[in-house]
């Protein structure tokens, strides 16, 4: 089952990359980044079956960091929305206003 799950995670990663590049809504780009993180998690878990339990411990850490990243990123999105009134990335050109 290892090659199949590696192929599956490669497919999910590619779909996530496509979403990050193509979509304009920041929240959907964020969801696609989560999708990429999940693809990597799937790779870790499927290889941990061959190489020992450490992969699963690492997935645990990845999930924690993903939660932290989602909280901070969504806070940034809220604060940008207050300023511009939209969540399109095309509006976010300036680092400071």
Binding site for other proteins (CB under 8 A): 1-8, 10-19, 21-25, 27-28, 30-32, 34-35, 38, 41-42, 45-46, 48-50, 52-54, 56-57, 59-61, 63-68, 70-72, 74-79, 81-82, 87-90
Cα-based angle 93, 95, 97 (whole degrees, multiple of 5): 95
Q: Of the candidates 32, 37, 8, 34, which has an alpha carbon nearest to the alpha carbon of residue 20? A: 32
Distances (CA, A) of 90 to 9, 16, 81, 87, 93: 30, 19, 13, 9, 7
Nearest distance from residue 23's CB to other proteins, in Å? 7
Minimum distance, C-beta of residue 33 to other proteins, in the bound complex (Å): 11
* Nearest distance, CB of residue 50 and other proteins, angstroms: 5
């Amino acid at each position: 089952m290892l090659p199949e799950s590696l192929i599956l995670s490669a497919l999910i990663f590619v779909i996530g990359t496509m979403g990050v590049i193509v979509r304009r809504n920041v929240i959907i780009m964020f969801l696609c980044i989560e999708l990429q993180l999940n693809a990597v998690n799937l790779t870790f878990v499927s290889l941990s079956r061959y190489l020992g339990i450490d992969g699963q411990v690492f997935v645990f850490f990845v999930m924690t960091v993903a939660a932290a990243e989602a909280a901070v990123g969504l806070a940034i999105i809220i604060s940008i929305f207050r300023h511009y009134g939209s969540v399109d990335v095309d509006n976010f050109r300036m680092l400071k206003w």
